[in-house]
């Protein structure tokens, strides 16, 4: 069993694979000060809860946007579960040329999504990740990472608005029944849902002009199921896209 771990700024998504099959996945709150011991307890507890055999773990592959946690996951592997550890970074073989000015500044989560999207489509594609930020990443017909767009995410935008506007309440984002809100909460829900859907459609349309109109667009991330149905440019939603990309990179490094 392979453990694939995607550490985001807000949440950590963990998947367990048996071969190519995802047999379980769960989300944990990301804490930047977590120790290897705490991570071991959290992951072991999740495996037990899902009745998965901890002793069958063959390795762990990590993508993280929180650099401080990388050595803690490495210690988790060496001290607790005693399995090989592979961080996605410059030394990892991804099978994807990176054609940007400085490949070392590319976030591992963006690269992993690009790898998974191209493996799924086999041609021009864009991955849209609805996370702490909204990342849209482009892959050429030949499987080259070309670059992308980074925009503010929904949750941090909601936090910013509620903290700066005293009369606007914190609200739960949901798909609105109509565009015209009848009260403050539904007006906020409509503004964020349709506003960010428009942002994604506008960005994707411009990127398709440069990449090719036939580029397939795949969405992932925690907010994808809420926003993607309101978008006109998204072709597919895959909540496990990043985990799949991690599995593919693991296989390419064996």
**Residue 34 is part of a domain; what is its CATH number?**
3.30.420.40
Q: How many domains does the chain have?
A: 2
| Whether residue 153 sits in one domain with residue 82 | no
Asked whether residue 249 is domain-assigned, the answer is: no
The verdict on whether 33 is a catalytic residue reads no
Catalytic hit among 25, 48, 101, 109: 109
Residue 17 lies in a domain: yes
Domain range for residue 18?
A: 2-87
Tokens describing residue 125: 């594609």
Residues 46 and 119 in one domain: no
CB atoms within 10 A of CB 31: 13
CB hemisphere CA count around 52 (13 angstroms): 23
Is residue 133 domain-shared with residue 193, that is, in the same domain?
yes
Q: Can you spell out the DSSP letters for 24-66?
A: EEEEEE--TT--HHHHHHHHHHHHHHTT--GGG--EEEEEES-
pLDDT of residue 54: 63
Whether 245 and 251 have beta carbons less than 8 Å apart is answered as no
Is there a single domain that holds both residue 232 and residue 139? yes
> Distance (Å, rounded) from C-alpha 25 to C-alpha 27?
7
Question: Which of 62, 87, 112 is a domain's end point?
Answer: 87
* pLDDT confidence of residue 43: 87
pLDDT of the residue at 174: 83
Which residues are paired to 236 by β-bridges? Answer: 218
The pLDDT score that the predictor gives to residue 88 is: 97
* Predicted confidence pLDDT, tens digits, the chain (254 residues): 999 999 999 899 999 999 999 999 999 999 999 999 999 999 888 887 666 766 689 999 999 999 999 999 999 999 998 999 999 988 899 999 999 999 999 999 999 999 999 999 999 999 999 998 999 999 999 999 999 999 999 888 888 888 777 667 777 788 888 999 999 889 999 999 999 999 999 999 999 999 999 999 999 998 899 999 999 999 999 999 999 999 999 999 98
Q: How far lies 85's CA from each of 57, 66, 73, 113, in Å?
A: 11, 17, 8, 20
The verdict on residue 184 lying in a domain is yes
By the 10 Å C-beta count (0-12 exposed, 13-18 middle, 19+ buried), 219 is classed as: buried
Partners of 14 in beta bridges = 5, 26
Taking the C-alpha atoms of residue 158 and residue 173, their distance in angstroms, rounded to an integer, is: 9
Which of 63, 87, 111 is the last residue in one of the domains?
87
C-alpha torsion angle, residues 139, 141, 143, 149 (rounded to 10): -10
């Amino acid at each position: 069993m392979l453990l694939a771990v995607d550490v985001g700024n807000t949440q950590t998504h963990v998947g367990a694979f048996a071969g190519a099959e995802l047999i379980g996945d769960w989300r944990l709150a990301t804490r930047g000060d977590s120790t290897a011991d705490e991570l071991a307890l959290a992951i072991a507890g999740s495996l037990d809860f899902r009745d998965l055999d901890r002793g069958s773990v063959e390795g762990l592959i990590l993508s993280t946007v929180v650099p401080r946690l990388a050595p803690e996951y490495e210690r988790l592997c060496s001290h607790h579960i005693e399995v090989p550890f592979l961080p996605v970074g410059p030394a990892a073989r991804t099978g994807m040329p990176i054609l940007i000015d400085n490949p070392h500044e590319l976030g591992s989560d963006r690269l992993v999504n690009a790898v998974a999207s191209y493996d799924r489509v086999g041609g021009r594609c864009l991955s849209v990740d609805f996370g702490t930020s909204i990342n849209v990443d482009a892959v050429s017909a030949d499987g080259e990472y070309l670059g992308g767009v980074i925009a503010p995410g929904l949750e941090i935008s909601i936090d910013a608005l509620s903290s700066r506007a005293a009369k606007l309440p914190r609200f739960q984002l949901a798909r609105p029944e109509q565009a015209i809100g009848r009260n403050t909460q539904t007006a906020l829900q409509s503004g964020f849902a349709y506003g960010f859907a428009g942002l994604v459609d506008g960005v994707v349309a411009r990127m398709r002009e440069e990449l090719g109109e036939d580029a397939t667009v795949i969405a992932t991330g925690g907010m994808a199921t809420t926003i993607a149905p309101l978008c006109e440019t998204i072709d597919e939603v895959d909540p496990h896209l990043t985990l799949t990309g991690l599995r593919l990179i693991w296989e390419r490094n064996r």
